[in-house]
Structure 1
Amino acid sequence: MPKPRVIIFSDLDGTLLDHDTYDWAPAKPALERLKASAIPVVLNSSKTISEVREVRERLENQSPFIVENGAAVVIPANCFDSSEEQVKRFGAPRTEVLALLAELRKEGFEFSGFADMSPAEISRHSSLSEAEAELARDRVATEPLLWHGDEESLAAFRGKLEAAGFRLVQGGRFLHAMGDFDKADGVRFLLEKYRQQDPTGRLVAIALGDSPNDQHMLEQADIAVIVKGVQSDSVVLPSQSRAIRSLKTGPAGWNECVLNLLIEYGY
């Protein structure tokens, strides 16, 4: 029986990248095996296009990528028979998110968004350098928030967003105010693209994440890997797919689980 085609979808912070240092070195053995086997690694992150481009350069990654919790899919030039880079967007633009947040602030809700913070302030809250924080502010459809109120007011705030057709998602460090999309939208879009390349072949999608905003992405995969981390206990094991929890944290857990799965599928 021929080997299936494997596609990896991976969160970054706390998953492929260390939660505190953003180091990916512990995952290097698995990444090298994936590259040698020509297996795409689709980065699926709350990070911006500019941020993910920088990470892809360090990883020597040339696969499509998904940004801002599913706000957009970026398909590089010469991928899927397109000679130019393509960007597929989902949901409301950031301007609409910021307009709603301004109204909610007038109602007394207390929070700080990236639009309110300087790169130096973002750096203090995220461990990003100021240059990296500047890239993080360049957003297309989402707004990361630090919440300053209590849990009761947060529940009311979440309800106001949902009533207006928006969502509030917990990421690794920040809450993310966004339109009605999630990380799964980009996964579905790209899986269809990969299936069109080989309609009769067997395709296995493996998704790795560590926090609740990865939940829908994990549910779209054939194999869901919950990487041990700060919020991983809050991630529900998908019932409709095979699910694994890593024993190690961050990129070390990522590396261990991916290598084991590659061996299982004959790579």
Structure 2
Amino acid sequence: MNLIIFTDLDGTLLDHESYSYAPAQEALSTLKARDVPLILASSKTAAEIAGLHAALGLGEAPAIVENGAAVWHPGAADEAGEAYARLRGRLDAVPAVLRAKFTGFGDMSAAEVAEVTGLSPEAAALAQARAHSEPGLWQGDGESETEFRAVLHELGVTARRGGRFLTLSFGGTKAGRMAEIAARYGTPKTMALGDAPNDIEMIEAADRGVIIRNDHGTNIPTLLGETEGRILRTDTAGPTGWNRAVLEALNDMDTKQGT
């Protein structure tokens, strides 16, 4: 099948609370049986992605990590954290009144990361093993967040809103990485699924986009592709909605191909 699928994780393929992908097992098994590449695209670190990638049996498929800041390949050595150290330095150059409103993973202990994410202490430690980006909690109002983003922009740092956190990096997007990876696969049809604002570009760039219902974070506004029928929304959240959306896409492709 001439298709490659890109998916966000938390709140999309993974349940927001339990981080389980069990409700999506039927679709996952179908993709594997049809040899459709599944590319994980997340704000998670390479250390976090590696275990999930292996559990899903995704073989040699690459993954988009740290919100599009890098592409990870199975078996790759751990990256050094020079970019992360530079990023933290830029963050600390932000005026104190604004800096105090942002609490990044680097400002927290593993126990605190576990508390705000719902991860186990061990998984929280992997979430702190960052090489390119810094997710965190914004504790100010919208006006001060706009000011914070403007200051970061002047420092060469971008900020993107995800389902739970505001993530800082030196650039790179899920959409940009999607194009790179699709080209490596011979530019097949692309499908992208996500539930948060940092997924918008990826969803809009795909041939078929799916907005997974989000009952916990910042919702995605109506996108132009929805009126065109190129972007769909699910009625159910998380892996349950993901499972149905993927199976429906495969069925639609089968119908169009007359199989």
State the TM-score, normalizing by the size of structure 2: 0.89
1:66 and 2:64 correspond: yes
Contact 2:213–2:238 (CA<8 Å) still a contact in 1? yes
Describe the shift of the 1:108–1:171 C-alpha distance in structure 2 as closer, same or farther (beyond 3 A): closer
Structure 1 residue 104: deviation in Å?
A: 1.1
How big is each residue's C-alpha offset from its partner over 1:218-241, in whole Å with a ceiling of 9 and x where there is no partner?
122100000111346324425388
- Check if 1:176 corresponds to 2:170: no
- Which of 106, 117, 125 lines up with 1:134 in the alignment? 125
| Superposition pairs of residues 150-161 of structure 1, within 5 angstroms | 150-161=141-152
Structure-2 separation of matches of 1:165 and 1:105: 15
Q: In 2 relative to 1, CA 151–65 (structure 1 residues): closer, same or farther, beyond 3 Å? A: same
Runs of 4+ off more than 6 Å: none
1:163 to 1:49, Cα distance in 2 relative to 1, 3 A: same
* Partner in structure 2 of residue 8 of structure 1: 5
Q: Which residue of 2 aligns with 1:28?
A: 25
CA RMSD of aligned residues (A): 2.3
Amino acid across the alignment from 1:97: L
TM-score normalised per structure 1: 0.87
Pick closer, same or farther for the CA change 1:101–1:211 going to 2, 3 Å.
Answer: same
1:43 maps onto 2:29 in alignment = no
Question: Deviation string for 1:170-192 (max 9, x for gaps)?
Answer: 11111101112211121011011
CA–CA distance in structure 1, aligned partners of residues 58 and 95 of structure 2: 40
Deviation of the 1:258 alpha carbon? 0.4
Out of 73, 77, 80, the position equivalent to 1:75 is: 73
- Counterpart residue type for residue 176 of structure 2: D
Counterpart for residue 200 of structure 1: none
Q: Structure 1 117/251 Cα, relative in aligned 2: closer, same or farther at 3 Å? A: same
One-letter code of the match for 1:234?
Answer: I
Write the letter of the residue equivalent to 2:219.
D
C-alpha displacement of 1:115? 0.9
Output aligned runs, 1:240-255, within 5 Å.
242-255=230-243
CA contact (8 A) 1:224 1:242 kept: yes
Q: Is the 8 A contact 1:123 1:133 kept in 2?
A: yes
Query: Sequence identity, in percent?
Result: 40
TM-fit CA distance, 1:87: 9.5
Structure 1: runs of 5+ lacking an equivalent: 78-84, 197-202
Q: Does 1:218 align with 2:222?
A: no
In 2, the alpha carbon distance for the partners of 1:53 and 1:127 equals 19
CA change 1:108–1:232 in 2 (3 A) is closer
- 2:14 aligned with 1:17, yes or no? yes
Secondary structure in 2 matching 1:55 = helix
Q: CA deviation at 1:166?
A: 1.6
Hey, what's the Cα distance between the residues in 2 that align with 1:114 and 1:13?
17
Report the secondary structure of 1:93's partner residue. helix
> What do residues 182-204 of structure 1 show as CA deviations (whole Å, max 9, x unaligned)?
111210110110117xxxxxx21
